[in-house]
Structure 1
Amino acid sequence: MSEKSAPVAYGGQAVIEGVMFGGRHVNVTAVRRKSGEITFLEVPREEKGWVRSLRKIPLLRGLVSLIDSSVKGSKHLNYSFDAYADDEMTPEEREELKAKNKKGEAKLGLGAIIGVTAAAILSFIVGKVVFTLVPVFVEQFLFKGAFEHQIYHNLTEGGIKLILLLLYLYLISLTPIVKRLFQYHGAEHKVISAFEAGEELTPENVQKYTRLHYRCGSSFIMLTVIIGVLIYSLFTWDSLAERVVQRLLLLPVVMGVSFEFLKFTNALRDVPVLRYLGYPGLWLQLLTTKEPTDEQVEVSIASFNRMRELDAVYAKQGAPASVPDAILDPLEG
Structure 2
Amino acid sequence: MNKQMVFISYSQKDKERVSLFASLMAKNGFDIWMDVKNISLGEYIISAIAEGLSNVDIYMIFISHNSSKSPWVTEELNIALTKNIENKKPQIIPVLLDDCSIPSALSGRLYLDARESIQSALEQLYKNFRHIDVNSANTIISSQSPILTEVIFGLSKETDISIGPFCDGFTKDDLVNNREKVQRLLRKRANGILMNFVPLSDFDLQSPIPKYKNGVYDESVEKISGSTTSSICEKVMAKATVFNPDAKKLDELVKSKLDKLYVTSLSYIFSLPFQESDFDKRCMQRIQDNYSIISYDFEDGATIEYDSNFFVSIRCTPEQIQIKLQAEYDFTFSKKAVNFSPINFIGWLIKETL
Report TM bin, short chain.
Answer: under 0.3
Bigger relative CO (Cα 8 Å, ≥ 6 apart): 1
Higher helix proportion: 1
Q: Normalized per residue, which structure has more strand?
A: 2
What's the TM-score, normalizing by structure 2?
0.24
TM-score (norm 1): 0.25
